[in-house]
Amino acid sequence: MIRSFFLDNSDYVAIFHGASFFLLGVASTLLYLRQQAASGAGKRYGLLFLGCFSFFLSLYQVMVIMAYGLMRPGLWHLERDIVLVAGFVLLFESGLMRLRPRARWSLNFFVLLPLVACTVTIGCASKSVAVCEVAIRQFLALPAALLVAFAFWKKADVERPVFSTRTARFVSAIFFLYGFFAGVIVPGSLWGTPYLFTEQRLFAFLGLPAQVLRASFATLLACIFIWRITRSLFAYRASLGLGRRPAFLLPLSFGVLYVAFLVSGWQLVQAVAVHERENVRRLVLKEARLYAEALLVSSDVDVLGLTQKSAYPALRHAHQRMVDLAQQDSFARALYLVRVEEERSVFLVGSRVQIFPSLVFPDFGAQVPTKQILDAFQGRQPTFAGPYADRQGRPFFTVFLPLDRAGAATLYLLALDLDGVKIFREIRRARLFPLFGVMAFLILLIVGYGFLIIFAVTNTELAVQKANLDKAVTHLRETEAQLARSDETFRGILSNSPNAIFGFDRDLRLIFWNEGAHRLYGYESHEVLNEKNPVENRRMVDLMGMEAYEREIVGVFQGQTLVREVAHKTKSGPSVDVVLTVFPVKDPQGNILFGMGLAQDISAHKRLEAALKEERDRLTIIAAHIGAGLSLIDKDFKILWFNEVMQGWFGKLETAQGRLCFDVFHRRQKVCDGCPTEQAFRTGAVSTGVQSVTYPDGRTIDFSIISSPIKDANGVTCQVLELVQDVTERRRLEEEVKRYTESLESLVTERTAALTASELMFRRLFESAQDGILIMDAENGNIIDVNPYLLQLLGTRREEIQGRPFEATRLFRETPALRSISQELSGRFTVFHDDVVLAAASGREINVEVRASWYYVGKRRVIQCHLRDITERRKLERIKTEFVSMVSHELRTPLSAIKEGVEIVADGTQGHLSSSQKECLEIALSNIRRLNRLIGDILDISKIQSNLLMVRRVPCDVTEVVDHVTHLAKIEIEKRGLVLETDIEKKLPRVVADRDRLIQVLVNLLNNAVKFTREKSRIHLTVRRTGNEVMFAVADEGPGIAEEELSRLFGRFIQLDSTLVRRVGGTGLGLYICKNLVDAMGGRIWAESRLGVGSVFKFVLPVEKDASR
């Protein structure tokens, strides 16, 4: 019965569907309203959407019933489905409002849009709206339902959910199923629209139409929602202490409504259907009668008289007439006559004729409505049959109208095939008014009910809220008192806080300024706030110099909190670094009252930071430049850090940090043997060690490691600092050095032996020398060593002299020459004194010659003096000198008498002399002079040899001396037949010389010239001034002197030609003495000569210093 109830009349299904959705709509809306009331400002439009959607759907279902046939079949299905999908999407949207917009829109875009697109394309491609509709339903409704299901599933996790988790999941499952049936299973195909699934199979499987299921699901959802509302109301009332009664009213009212809807709907449908049927019947009958009349009247054939055996033309005529009638635009599509013969229907002539005459087949197919025909025939009442579907699938009805002659038996039935579509359209048109009426009623019902509910809900809500309010007021009074207390505390806190705290309003004007702010910024409260006129309060951005941040600060009033490090201006000028925190102060409802700022002075902190950073940078630079590897290892042997040098050996810090040190450095699995770090951890003392590391490419580097433990506050070693140095090179060098050292050592031993031997030798030399050797320190004058000879010479013992300063020794102190040695040696390498007199300890005087020199012994400068006892030599010299002196004096004594005796006679003072007498005496005299000179020469030689030659150096008048000499010499020269030529410069300056010695030299040279010149030649004497000297030159025209002989000339006993000795005479001493004399006078003497031409002997003497010419 149920099957027939639902299957045969889809209107019932539609009613059920509509009622269910109506209920769901109401329930959702109520739930939404409840939520709004409960949670205040909420944006959970999901339920509202669901409600609206449900209402629409229920209206729609009603519309389906009422407006059937008015719209094109597929189109309103399409619209419904679009709404379905949209509804689902909205539900989904609302459920997913928790998601970020981007996620939501992505889902919409990537999931739904393609589906829509393909759906539309499919629909358009097949040029069938129906197909499009199906495609939407199947392709979109299901996903849409899935999305909603998903949304509800996700919503299960939301805090303060509408449903408990389980319920929400259940709801989501129902949505899923609903969508499944909406999309996959399609209800009855009455109108031949193609579906992808035909319902027969599924109906066979399920046994119930899908719409019924869908409606059931909707009812179920509605029930769940209603239960939720009831529960919340229940709980709410319980909390307020109100009765249970109001809580029950709601579900009760819903149930009543639902049933009423169903029942009334059904009744309505029934009534409408009956009414419709009646209307249609009447309409159709009217039409049929019209047709019948038309047929009977107009024909020139007796239609009623026709039989199967009638003549063809008559039949044809009748047929034509029917055809004409059928073509009129009316309900009837086809007409034909039906006769009943012997309980059998015979179709006579009709508008549709295939094969004339008896093969008129209506489109009943197998379903000939025999009953209706018989009823019509016998009952003489029109009957209806249908609906049938023709071969094209279009629906039609058939009405059987009995035709008779006035009161006679029915002869024929006029069967009219009525266009079902048109009929239905008529029906639907007929339904319009009631439809609108019903809809209006329903809307009013819904709206009214809605308002009622709202009113009821809000009324109770209001009552509840009023009670709440009273409670709140008392609560408020209490809190006010509390607030007053806390306000004071708060003020106290603010005032006493060391930090700067200030409040500001939306115009950024300061409304509060605490003591801390005064201290930090320098402004007092009254400078910043104007109590009389708050508009005059200073703006905090201007005061602190934060104009750049104004916009961000304004954002505080949108609820943002700002934390910045800035530099603020102060009253007195210097800016101060602060951390500024600006945040909104809200009331309990979350409204922002004013902004609050907190400024902490971090100048010191910043300085510290900068110092720390500098320190850290310095440490980093030190660590980088230290030139050795540094690494920090923790007690698990994990690498905490190492510096750049280590990175050069072992790779980047990032890859090694946190790994085990023996793994990274040595690629071992456990701690290395003898690891100094391990020792450091164990013993807590600094440990050293050397480790070799072999790299995969074969290189080996030796590292010296110094591990220093770093201890924590309790003295426990928590970390170790390793100092690592590459000692490969050093070790290699060490090896080499060891080798060299070994070879050197043997070398040194050899050398030392040699040195010792040599030292011994020299020591013996020192000890056994026959000269005194004294070694003293050049810096402090201490006597370092004295050799035995000297000790013996001086007659002292070693202890008295050695180690003591030079000055302290009496023996040396009293010898001025020795005292000055150090000074003299500062400028020269050696110093020689040959006339030092030492006093020996015994008092004996010793003549020594001292030769001193200095050299370095290591870093010490020492002076070595050689003292040679020359007492004997001096004695000898003295003796010799005395002897020579005595001899010459002894020789001179008689000589002077001889000279005087001869002279006195030669002078004529003892009587006149004849010229010959005079001549003889002159000869004697000249020889006497010669003898005198010789004695003088001998004496000079002796003095020269003893370094006792002394010359005076006084200014001498050159001209006078030369005149004197020439005067003397001329006589002798002319006697020999030679010529003396003189060339003496006028105004010669005075020379520094010894007059007598000068004469001696000149005489000597002249005598030599006389001796060596040719006979009858000339002797030149030239005296000239040359710069600072006066040059004397004596030239002869003798044989000359060979060049190599020139330098030997001035040596002792030199005479060039032994053959000349006899002729010339002379001892050869002359030039030697001349040289010594000239040198002693500060001049120079030399000779120039050309063999065969002659010789020139020249000497120069210095001019008197202040003779300025």
Partner 1 sequence: MSEEKKEEKTEEKKKILIIDDEVGLRNLLKFRLISFGYDVMVAEDGYAGLEIAKAQAPDVIVLDIMMPYLNGIEVCKKLKSDLKTKGVPIIFLSVLAQKEDIDAGREAGGEFFLTKPYDPQKLDLLIRMALKGERQPPEMLEP
| Interface with partner 1, residue 879, by CB under 8 A | no
DSSP state of 465: H
| Interface with partner 1, residue 880, by CB under 8 A | no
**Closest CB to partner 1 among residues 928, 1005:** 928
Sole window of 455-463, 680-688, 898-906, 1024-1032 interacting with partner 1 (rule: CB under 8 A): 898-906
Q: In 3D, which of 388, 303, 312, 311 has the Cα closest to residue 338?
A: 303
| Interface with partner 1, residue 761, by CB under 8 A | no
d(CA 774, CA 848): 13
**Closest CB to partner 1 among residues 94, 942:** 942
| Interface with partner 1, residue 1082, by CB under 8 A | no
The single residue among 80, 899, 1025, 1075 that binds partner 1, judged by CB under 8 A, is 899
Sole window of 146-154, 812-820, 899-907, 1015-1023 interacting with partner 1 (rule: CB under 8 A): 899-907
- State the nearest-atom distance from the C-beta of 882 to partner 1, in Å: 11
Token readout for 754 is: 């040699």
- State the nearest-atom distance from the C-beta of 901 to partner 1, in Å: 5
The single residue among 901, 1040, 1066, 1102 that binds partner 1, judged by CB under 8 A, is 901
| Interface with partner 1, residue 483, by CB under 8 A | no
| Interface with partner 1, residue 995, by CB under 8 A | yes
Cβ proximity of 1038 and 1014 under 8 Å: yes
Sole window of 164-172, 436-444, 907-915, 1050-1058 interacting with partner 1 (rule: CB under 8 A): 907-915
The single residue among 885, 917, 945, 1067 that binds partner 1, judged by CB under 8 A, is 885
Sole window of 428-436, 499-507, 567-575, 882-890 interacting with partner 1 (rule: CB under 8 A): 882-890
**Closest CB to partner 1 among residues 935, 1010:** 935
**Closest CB to partner 1 among residues 319, 997:** 997
| Interface with partner 1, residue 877, by CB under 8 A | no
Token readout for 891 is: 């020789």
- State the nearest-atom distance from the C-beta of 886 to partner 1, in Å: 10
Cβ proximity of 232 and 38 under 8 Å: yes
- State the nearest-atom distance from the C-beta of 1034 to partner 1, in Å: 22
The single residue among 561, 910, 926, 1026 that binds partner 1, judged by CB under 8 A, is 910
Spatial neighbors of 706 by CB under 8 A, at least 6 apart, are 676, 686, 687, 688, 722, 723
- State the nearest-atom distance from the C-beta of 1027 to partner 1, in Å: 25
Sole window of 584-592, 906-914, 1002-1010, 1066-1074 interacting with partner 1 (rule: CB under 8 A): 906-914
Spatial neighbors of 131 by CB under 8 A, at least 6 apart, are 122, 123, 194
Sole window of 126-134, 869-877, 883-891, 1041-1049 interacting with partner 1 (rule: CB under 8 A): 883-891
Report the DSSP pairing between strands 991-993 and 562-568: unpaired
- x/- binding map, residues 34-73, to partner 1, per CB under 8 A? ----------------------------------------
Residue with the two structure tokens 């829509």? 116
Q: Which H or E run contains 993? A: strand 991-993
The single residue among 619, 753, 897, 1061 that binds partner 1, judged by CB under 8 A, is 897
| Interface with partner 1, residue 1020, by CB under 8 A | no
Sole window of 367-375, 545-553, 620-628, 902-910 interacting with partner 1 (rule: CB under 8 A): 902-910
d(CA 823, CA 816): 12
DSSP secondary structure, 280-325, as one string = HHHHHHHHHHHHHHHHHHH-SS-STT--TTS-HHHHHHHHHHHHHH
**Closest CB to partner 1 among residues 169, 892:** 892
The single residue among 474, 496, 768, 896 that binds partner 1, judged by CB under 8 A, is 896
Beta-bridge partner residues of 396? 388, 419
Cβ proximity of 783 and 774 under 8 Å: yes
Sole window of 587-595, 674-682, 837-845, 896-904 interacting with partner 1 (rule: CB under 8 A): 896-904
From its phi and psi, is residue 1068 left (phi > 0), alpha (psi between -120 and 50) or beta? Answer: left
Token readout for 211 is: 């719409």
- x/- binding map, residues 923-952, to partner 1, per CB under 8 A? -----x---x------x----------x-x
Residue with the two structure tokens 């319009």? 432
Spatial neighbors of 365 by CB under 8 A, at least 6 apart, are 388
- State the nearest-atom distance from the C-beta of 952 to partner 1, in Å: 7
**Dihedrals phi, psi of 467, to nearest 5 degrees:** -60, -40
**Closest CB to partner 1 among residues 956, 1074:** 956
| Interface with partner 1, residue 767, by CB under 8 A | no
**Closest CB to partner 1 among residues 351, 1007:** 1007
**Closest CB to partner 1 among residues 393, 894:** 894
DSSP state of 567: E
Which three-class secondary structure state does DSSP give residue 250? Answer: helix
| Interface with partner 1, residue 1067, by CB under 8 A | no
**Closest CB to partner 1 among residues 804, 952:** 952
| Interface with partner 1, residue 904, by CB under 8 A | yes
Cα 650 from chain centre: 22
- State the nearest-atom distance from the C-beta of 888 to partner 1, in Å: 8
**Closest CB to partner 1 among residues 308, 893:** 893
Q: Which H or E run contains 699? A: none
| Interface with partner 1, residue 893, by CB under 8 A | yes
The single residue among 354, 591, 842, 909 that binds partner 1, judged by CB under 8 A, is 909
**Closest CB to partner 1 among residues 2, 954:** 954
Cα 88 from chain centre: 52
| Interface with partner 1, residue 907, by CB under 8 A | yes
Give the count of residues interacting with partner 1 (CB under 8 A).
26
Q: In 3D, which of 133, 233, 120, 238 has the Cα closest to residue 187?
A: 133
The single residue among 199, 849, 972, 996 that binds partner 1, judged by CB under 8 A, is 996
CB count, 10 Å around CB of 797? 11
Q: Between residue 363 and residue 402, which ones bind partner 1 under the rule CB under 8 A?
A: none
d(CA 364, CA 389): 8
| Interface with partner 1, residue 900, by CB under 8 A | yes
Residue 1023 CA: distances (Å) to CA of 88, 999, 1045, 1082: 150, 13, 25, 17
The single residue among 903, 985, 1045, 1079 that binds partner 1, judged by CB under 8 A, is 903
Q: In 3D, which of 257, 208, 280, 298 has the Cα closest to residue 27?
A: 257
Burial 876-888 (b: 16+ CB within 10 A, else e): ebeeebeebeeeb
995-1012 vs 1070-1080: helix crossing angle, rounded to 10: 150
| Interface with partner 1, residue 888, by CB under 8 A | yes
- State the nearest-atom distance from the C-beta of 907 to partner 1, in Å: 7
Residue with the two structure tokens 């009023």? 466
C-alpha dihedral (602, 608, 613, 616), degrees to nearest 10: -150
Which three-class secondary structure state does DSSP give residue 798? Answer: helix
Q: In 3D, which of 895, 892, 890, 792 has the Cα closest to residue 838?
A: 792
- State the nearest-atom distance from the C-beta of 773 to partner 1, in Å: 35
| Interface with partner 1, residue 953, by CB under 8 A | no
d(CA 658, CA 633): 9
Q: Which H or E run contains 668? A: none
E strands, 615-716, where?
Answer: 629-634, 639-642, 687-694, 700-711
Query: Which residues bind to partner 1, rule: CB under 8 A?
Result: 885, 888-889, 892-897, 899-901, 903-904, 907, 909-910, 928, 932, 939, 950, 952, 954, 956, 995-996
